[in-house]
């Protein structure tokens, strides 16, 4: 019953109403409304987890696992870009748990006073470059990314994955063998700044982009069949620390703590690792 | 010279006509609604394609199903005035009249004087800047005419041009129209259902009934020898078809749908037409068999009273006999007899008041 | 008044008030958030100006495309009967009921590099995704039905008698179309163009899916609002206010312009006075 919130929210956002400003109205109102609807109106015990898009597959698995233990428990996930989730929480969305893809957005929520406790890092992630299996841009090595005219898709820089990707590019510019303006040249070829990292993966697997930078965990089996990976050396890669926290407005704090416990447990960690994440250090 | 021969079928109804007309004449086409007169006009205009036939205006063939010629409306030398004038609402009077000239690519410099001249002749020059909804019905009719005539058409087609106007305006314009039509060098085909217009405005009259022309001729020819009861009724006379069933001292007894009529013996065959002129009929309120020789005597109720324009001193009275009888009496008589719809009356006329012909 | 009548009145008032509140409160919330000076300041920033310029250019181009391509279609639908006409009408109206994101996915799968028509386009040297042209295509896609239905209604309402009499006045088909049909249908056509423009201006879902989001190239105002929302809400609000003013302006013009007094006004063709 978990809904691909992001896609649906996007749909709602683009509901066909005459007049452009209407879309704006709907952008935050309806995502908010949607969050409210799925969280606020249920009378049965329902845990609501807001999680970064990259956690989609892993958390869905964990949700199933939790439900097996407690069949009465309802869990709803809201997967979206971390900034979007933070925004919704600040606007009053009723959620129990927040799992962000970076510390920046967790801090933003913490500074606004919406956390119940302190955040815990529960998993880390790293970035990887992917290209379509047919490799239309003929990218074999990282250096090829700087080739002029390559269609590169990144997450927007407000999104953790986008910020990390740009950091990685800067790091690579320092490496010998790469030109010092490597990052600028790559960024000049960016054709789209997507609002969440999964969209980047989509564009690459459809063959529309020549290359994209995503998390290693985003290369799910389904996507792996359609793309090729180009690894980033550990020294230049970014370690993304994913924090997890219980929210102050949690309606089901116990269920929330159970979920957090599960995530941090060996079983949870196994699930996360299986989905491409790296253990928290 | 316009020669027309056309067949057009619509489901159960079919129109089959043949007629000719010469420049300068005004041919009135009369008929009941549904008889096919508007269709005939639209066929001539090129708005409806006949199934078969040949239409030629002088040397130019407008339609011929044998050679598969069918000139579209805009290539025909016609002028068309539809029933409600259809003045373009988005254009001024001037631009309406100038429309055809512009469409045929005439130079601006020549259009102005031509249009203004025609507007002046029709007495509507001061309306040049107005739009269609700002002018009266009578003015609109003149604009529509001017718009058609400014193109010097060889054939002018008029679809009941006075029907959309109130009675007073109709009367006022009828005279103008008559003079205009008489002076026009083109062939005018004028459709109407009004007997008075037909009588007054045209040189010849063609009667259409159920898609066929039943009679075509001058007014006098029709009046003298109407060939169908429609034509007769249209012209306001009483026509009956009958058979002679008895002869006696110079009079004949003729069996007609109305009853047995007594008329003067014309000699010859037994199948005859009888015409009883409305003015020959006398009306009575009481069933008094009058003295005298009138043997034609019928009872009926008044169906309709209609003052007979333009004089208004005479009144046409339609009686519900079978078939109806039309009498014409003075309005004093109407007063004296206290006639109104539904009044039972008796009608009588002398044998000498009946025309018999074949 | 009877109790029932009073109750009915109250019900009506509540419904009307409720709906008006629902519709106007969000607009007011936007407007009161920033002062006009603040809005101006935000707009002055390069990102905002780029988005504004891009939006105006692409929506204008899309409207032009929709009008030029849509007019012949509207004309055919208004004047001719042909087998499959209903199907064509349904197809032309499809973008209205299609969620824009779905439209975007469809466009991607059709015209993307690996799409159905992608190969053909590539051969001619055109790649659509991630380009400004893609934005125009996406906007045209969603705006088409607005123009066609209004244009169709306008053209169909032109009374045949005007076209007939024009034919008798030496006007061939083209002359009749441009000098009689079009002028009489003009209010509806202009209204359709205006609605198309407004829809194109506000297009988001298909654009972001098909064209992506890149400042200056594909980040139109709606996308800029979305992108700014989580980081700089005041910029988002400023852009939203601009969009709101533009759209509202279009609607007001449509309602109050003298020629718009009868959308479909040619239906009330003027009969000469009796």
| Nearest-by-CA chain A residue for C26 | A25
Chain C residue numbers with beta carbons less than 8 Å from the beta carbon of B124 are none
Q: What is the CATH number of the domain that holds C168?
A: 1.10.3720.10
Residue-range definition of the domain harbouring residue C129: 63-268
* Structural domain includes residue C179: yes
Mean pLDDT in residue range B281-308? 75
- The total number of structural domains that make up chain C: 1
Q: What is the DSSP letter of B34?
A: T
Q: Are B124 and B82 in contact (CB under 8 A)?
A: no
Q: pLDDT, tens digit, for every residue of B61-92?
A: 999 999 999 999 999 999 999 999 999 999 99
Q: Are C248 and A21 in contact (CB under 8 A)?
A: yes
pLDDT at B273 over 70: yes
Neighbours of C120 (CB within 10 A): 11
- The total number of structural domains that make up chain A: 2
Structure confidence at residue A22 (pLDDT): 52
Q: What is the DSSP letter of C232?
A: -
Chain B residue numbers with beta carbons less than 8 Å from the beta carbon of C274 are 137, 164-166
pLDDT at A26 over 70: no
Q: What is the DSSP letter of C270?
A: P
C252 lies within 8 A of chain A by CB? no
End-to-end CA distance of chain C: 44
* Structural domain includes residue A174: yes
Q: pLDDT, tens digit, for every residue of C72-99?
A: 999 999 998 999 999 999 999 999 999 9
A neighbours by CB contacts (3+ pairs under 8 Å):
C
Q: pLDDT, tens digit, for every residue of C42-79?
A: 888 878 888 989 999 999 999 999 999 999 999 999 99
Residues A208 and A142 reside in one and the same domain: yes
Best mutation target, B74, B76, B93, to test chain C (most C CBs within 10 A): B74
Residues A172 and A107 reside in one and the same domain: no
For C224, phi then psi, to 5°, come to -65, -40
pLDDT at A40 over 70: no
Structure confidence at residue B120 (pLDDT): 92
Q: pLDDT, tens digit, for every residue of C161-217?
A: 999 999 999 999 999 999 999 999 999 999 999 999 999 999 999 999 999 999 889
* Structural domain includes residue A99: yes
Nearest Cβ partner of A191 from C130, C204, C230?
A: C130
Q: Which helix (H) or strand (E) is B183 found in, with range?
A: helix B167-183
Residues in CB range of A96: below 8 A, 6 or more apart: A47, A48, A49, A246, A247, A250, A251, A252, A253, A255, A256, A259
Distance, CA of A38 to chain centre: 20
Structure confidence at residue A6 (pLDDT): 43
Distance CA A178, CA B71 (A): 79
| Nearest-by-CA chain C residue for A7 | C101
* Structural domain includes residue A104: yes
The model's confidence at residue C272, banded by pLDDT at 50, 70 and 90, is: very low
Residues A190 and A262 reside in one and the same domain: no
In terms of Cα–Cα distance, which of A232, A257, A231 is closest to A244? A257
Q: What angle do CA A123, A127, A131 make, to 5 degrees?
A: 140
Distance CA B36, CA C264 (A): 33
Report the predicted TM-score, pTM, of the whole model to 2 decimal places: 0.75
* Structural domain includes residue A139: yes
SS3 A240: strand
Residue-range definition of the domain harbouring residue A187: 127-231
Residues A116 and A249 reside in one and the same domain: yes
Residues A115 and A149 reside in one and the same domain: no
Q: pLDDT, tens digit, for every residue of A75-85?
A: 999 999 999 99
* Structural domain includes residue A169: yes
Chain A residue numbers with beta carbons less than 8 Å from the beta carbon of C243 are 19-21, 23-24
Do the chains contact at A18 and C142, CB–CB below 8 Å?
no
Contacts by B93-96 with C-beta closer than 8 Å and gap 24+? B93/B119, B93/B124, B93/B127, B93/B128, B93/B129, B93/B130, B93/B131, B93/B132, B93/B135, B93/B143, B94/B119, B94/B128, B94/B129, B96/B132, B96/B143, B96/B147
Best mutation target, A9, A17, A20, to test chain C (most C CBs within 10 A): A20
Mean pLDDT in residue range B101-118? 93
The residue assigned the tokens 């441009």 is: C178
Q: Are B249 and B257 in contact (CB under 8 A)?
A: no
* Structural domain includes residue A25: no
Structure confidence at residue C262 (pLDDT): 46
**Side-by-side strand order, sheet with B13-21:** B69-70, B60-64, B52-57, B2-10, B13-21, B212-218, B204-209, B26-31, B187-192, B155-159, B78-81
Q: Are B160 and B28 in contact (CB under 8 A)?
A: no
In terms of Cα–Cα distance, which of A48, A39, A34, A25 is closest to A259? A48
Q: What angle do CA C74, C76, C81 make, to 5 degrees?
A: 130
The model's confidence at residue A247, banded by pLDDT at 50, 70 and 90, is: very high
The model's confidence at residue B270, banded by pLDDT at 50, 70 and 90, is: confident
Q: Which helix (H) or strand (E) is A63 found in, with range?
A: helix A56-69
Q: Are C78 and C155 in contact (CB under 8 A)?
A: yes
Task: Identify residues of C whose CB sits under 8 angstroms from chain B CBs.
Answer: 159, 161-162, 164-172, 175, 179-180, 183-184, 266, 269-274
* Structural domain includes residue C5: no
Residues A196 and A185 reside in one and the same domain: yes
Q: In DSSP terms, which residues pair with A229 in a beta bridge?
A: A130
Distance CA A8, CA A4 (A): 6
Structure confidence at residue C253 (pLDDT): 83
Chain B residue numbers with beta carbons less than 8 Å from the beta carbon of C169 are 74, 80, 99-100, 103, 147-148, 151
H-type alpha helices, A5-48: 5-13, 20-40
Q: Which helix (H) or strand (E) is B245 found in, with range?
A: strand B238-248
Q: In DSSP terms, which residues pair with B190 in a beta bridge?
A: B28, B158
* Structural domain includes residue C273: no
Q: pLDDT, tens digit, for every residue of C120-160?
A: 888 888 888 889 999 999 999 999 999 999 999 999 999 99
* Structural domain includes residue C6: no
Q: What angle do CA C91, C96, C99 make, to 5 degrees?
A: 110
Cα torsion through B111, B112, B116, B117, rounded to 10:
-60
Do the chains contact at C240 and A21, CB–CB below 8 Å?
yes
Interface of C with A in 97-136 (CB under 8 A): 99-102, 108-109, 112-114, 129-130
Q: pLDDT, tens digit, for every residue of A106-133?
A: 999 999 999 998 999 999 999 999 999 9
* Structural domain includes residue A26: no
pLDDT at B195 over 60: yes
* Structural domain includes residue C48: no
Neighbours of B341 (CB within 10 A): 12
Classify burial at A263, counting beta carbons within 10 Å of its beta carbon; exposed 0-12, middle 13-18, buried 19 or more.
Answer: buried
Residues in CB range of A195: below 8 A, 6 or more apart: A81, A84, A155, A156, A159, C208, C213, C226, C227
Nearest Cβ partner of A192 from C202, C213, C247?
A: C213
Residues A131 and A60 reside in one and the same domain: no
| Nearest-by-CA chain C residue for B151 | C169
Best mutation target, A14, A109, A133, A195, to test chain C (most C CBs within 10 A): A14
Chain C residue numbers with beta carbons less than 8 Å from the beta carbon of B157 are 168
Do the chains contact at A21 and C244, CB–CB below 8 Å?
yes
Q: Are C236 and C229 in contact (CB under 8 A)?
A: yes
In terms of Cα–Cα distance, which of C208, C205, C199 is closest to C149? C199
Q: Are B321 and B258 in contact (CB under 8 A)?
A: yes
The model's confidence at residue C271, banded by pLDDT at 50, 70 and 90, is: very low
Q: What is the DSSP letter of C237?
A: H
Q: What is the CATH number of the domain that holds A158?
A: 3.40.190.10
- The encoded tokens of residue A270 equal 């196994």
CA distances from B159 to B130, B231, C166 (A): 24, 20, 16
* Structural domain includes residue C138: yes
| Nearest-by-CA chain A residue for C27 | A25
Q: In DSSP terms, which residues pair with B217 in a beta bridge?
A: B205
On the CB side of C9, CA atoms within 13 Å amount to: 6
Question: DSSP string covering B259-327, please?
Answer: EEEEEE---S-SEEEEEE-GGG-EEESS----SSS--EEEEEEEEEEEE-TTT-SEEEEEE-SSS-EEE
Residues in CB range of A93: below 8 A, 6 or more apart: A32, A35, A36, A39, A50
Crossing angle, helix C132-156 and helix C46-79, to 10 degrees?
40
For A244, phi then psi, to 5°, come to -135, 140
pLDDT at A7 over 50: no
Q: What is the DSSP letter of C177?
A: I
B neighbours by CB contacts (3+ pairs under 8 Å):
C
Structure confidence at residue C127 (pLDDT): 82
Nearest Cβ partner of C101 from A10, A28, A203?
A: A10
* Structural domain includes residue C192: yes
Helices and strands per DSSP (H, E), number in chain B: 9, 21
Residues A154 and A198 reside in one and the same domain: yes
Distance, CA of C97 to chain centre: 14
Question: DSSP string covering A87-134, please?
Answer: HHHHTT---SEEE-SSHHHHHHHHHTT-BSS--EEEEEE-EEEEEETT
Do the chains contact at C30 and A20, CB–CB below 8 Å?
no
* Structural domain includes residue A6: no
pLDDT at A187 over 60: yes
Residue A265, min C-alpha distance to chain C (Å): 32
Mean pLDDT in residue range A29-48? 59
| Nearest-by-CA chain C residue for A134 | C114
CA distances from A82 to A98, A162, A195, B172, B329 (A): 9, 11, 10, 86, 102
For A269, phi then psi, to 5°, come to -65, -35
Distance CA B353, CA B328 (A): 13
b/e per residue, B228-250, with b = 16+ CB within 10 A? ebbbbbbbbbbbbebebeeeeee
Structure confidence at residue C266 (pLDDT): 41
Crossing angle, helix B167-183 and helix B137-149, to 10 degrees?
20
Weakest-pLDDT range from A224-233, B17-26, B231-240:
B231-240
The residue assigned the tokens 């409210």 is: A36
């Amino acid at each position: 019953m978990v809904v691909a919130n992001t896609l649906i929210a996007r749909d709602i956002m683009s509901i066909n109403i005459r007049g452009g400003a209407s879309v704006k109205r709907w952008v935050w109102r309806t995502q908010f409304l949607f969050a409210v609807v799925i969280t606020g109106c249920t009378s049965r015990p329902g845990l609501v987890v807001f999680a970064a898009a990259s956690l989609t597959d892993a958390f869905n698995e964990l949700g199933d696992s939790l439900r097996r233990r407690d069949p009465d428990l309802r869990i709803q996930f809201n997967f979206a870009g971390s900034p979007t989730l933070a925004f919704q929480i600040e606007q009053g969305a009723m959620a129990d748990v927040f799992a962000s893809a970076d510390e920046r957005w967790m801090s933003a929520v913490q500074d606004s006073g919406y956390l119940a406790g302190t955040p815990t890092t529960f998993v880390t992630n790293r970035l990887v470059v992917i290209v379509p299996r047919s490799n239309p841009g003929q990218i074999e090595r990282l250096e090829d990314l700087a080739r002029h005219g390559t269609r590169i898709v990144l997450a927007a820089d407000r999104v953790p994955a986008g910020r990390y990707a740009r950091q990685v590019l800067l790091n690579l510019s320092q490496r010998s063998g790469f030109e010092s303006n490597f990052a600028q040249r790559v960024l000049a070829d960016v054709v789209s700044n997507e609002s969440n990292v999964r969209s980047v993966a989509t564009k690459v697997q459809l063959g529309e982009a020549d290359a994209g930078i995503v998390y290693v965990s985003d290369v799910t089996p389904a996507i792996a069949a359609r793309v090729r990976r180009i690894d980033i050396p550990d020294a230049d890669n970014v370690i993304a620390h994913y924090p997890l926290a219980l929210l102050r407005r949690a309606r089901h704090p116990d269920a929330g703590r159970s979920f957090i416990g599960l995530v941090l447990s060996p079983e949870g960690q196994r699930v996360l690792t299986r989905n491409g994440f790296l253990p928290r250090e | 010279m316009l020669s027309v021969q056309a067949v057009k079928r619509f489901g159960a109804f079919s129109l089959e006509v043949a007629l000719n007309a010469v420049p300068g004449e005004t041919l009135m086409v009369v008929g009941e609604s549904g008889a096919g007169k508007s269709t005939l006009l639209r066929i001539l205009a090129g708005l409806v394609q006949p199934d078969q036939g040949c239409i030629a205006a002088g040397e130019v063939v407008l339609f011929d199903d044998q050679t598969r010629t069918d000139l579209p409306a805009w290539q025909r030398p016609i002028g068309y005035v539809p029933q409600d004038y259809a003045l373009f609402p988005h254009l001024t009077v001037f631009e309406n009249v100038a429309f055809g000239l512009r469409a045929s690519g005439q130079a601006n410099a020549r259009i102005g004087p031509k249009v203004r001249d025609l507007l002046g002749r029709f007495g509507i020059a001061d309306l040049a800047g107005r739009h269609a909804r700002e002018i009266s019905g009578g003015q609109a009719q003149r604009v529509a005419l001017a718009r058609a005539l400014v193109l010097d058409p060889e054939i002018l087609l008029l679809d009941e041009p006075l029907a959309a106007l109130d009675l007073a305006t109709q009367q006022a314009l009828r005279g103008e129209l008559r003079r205009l039509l008489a002076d026009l060098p083109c062939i005018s085909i004028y459709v109407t259902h009004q007997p008075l217009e037909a009588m007054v405005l045209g040189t010849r009259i063609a009667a259409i009934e159920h898609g066929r022309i039943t009679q075509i001729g001058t007014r006098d020819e029709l009046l003298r020898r109407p060939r169908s009861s429609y034509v007769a009724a249209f012209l306001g006379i009483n026509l009956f078809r009958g058979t002679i069933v008895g002869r006696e001292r110079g009079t004949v007894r003729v069996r007609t749908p109305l009853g047995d009529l007594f008329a003067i013996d014309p000699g010859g065959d037994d199948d005859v037409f009888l015409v009883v002129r409305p003015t020959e009929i006398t009306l009575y309120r009481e069933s008094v068999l009058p003295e005298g020789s009138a043997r034609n005597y019928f009872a009926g109720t008044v169906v309709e009273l209609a003052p007979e324009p333009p004089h208004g001193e005479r009144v046409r009275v339609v009686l519900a006999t079978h078939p109806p009888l039309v009498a014409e009496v003075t309005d004093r008589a109407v007063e004296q007899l206290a006639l109104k719809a539904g009044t039972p009356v008796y009608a009588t006329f002398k044998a000498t008041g009946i025309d018999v012909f074949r | 008044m009877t109790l029932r009548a009073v109750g009915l009145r109250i019900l009506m008032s509540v419904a009307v008030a409720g709906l008006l509140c629902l519709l106007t409160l969000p607009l007011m919330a936007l407007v009161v958030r920033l002062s006009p000076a603040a809005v101006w300041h935000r707009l002055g920033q390069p990102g905002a100006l780029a988005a504004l310029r891009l939006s105006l250019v692409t929506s204008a181009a899309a409207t032009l495309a929709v009008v030029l391509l849509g007019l012949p279609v509207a004309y055919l639908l208004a004047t001719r009967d042909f087998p499959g006409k209903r199907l064509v009408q349904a197809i032309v109206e499809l973008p209205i009921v299609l969620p824009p994101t779905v439209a975007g996915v469809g466009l991607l799968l059709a015209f993307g590099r690996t799409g159905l028509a992608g190969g053909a386009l590539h051969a001619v040297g055109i790649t659509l995704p991630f380009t400004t042209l893609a934005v125009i295509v996406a906007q045209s896609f969603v705006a088409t039905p607005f123009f066609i239905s209004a244009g169709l209604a306008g053209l169909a309402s032109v009374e045949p008698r005007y076209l007939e009499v024009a034919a008798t006045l030496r006007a061939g088909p083209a002359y009749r179309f441009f000098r009689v049909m079009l002028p009489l249908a003009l209010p509806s056509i202009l209204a359709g163009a205006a609605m198309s423009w407004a829809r194109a201006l506000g297009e988001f879902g298909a654009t972001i899916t098909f064209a992506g989001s890149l400042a200056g190239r594909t980040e139109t105002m709606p996308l800029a609002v979305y992108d700014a929302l989580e980081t700089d809400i005041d910029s988002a609000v400023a852009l939203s206010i601009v969009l709101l003013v533009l759209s509202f302006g279009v609607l007001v013009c449509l309602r109050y312009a003298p020629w718009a007094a009868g959308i479909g006004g040619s239906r009330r063709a003027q009969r000469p006075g009796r």
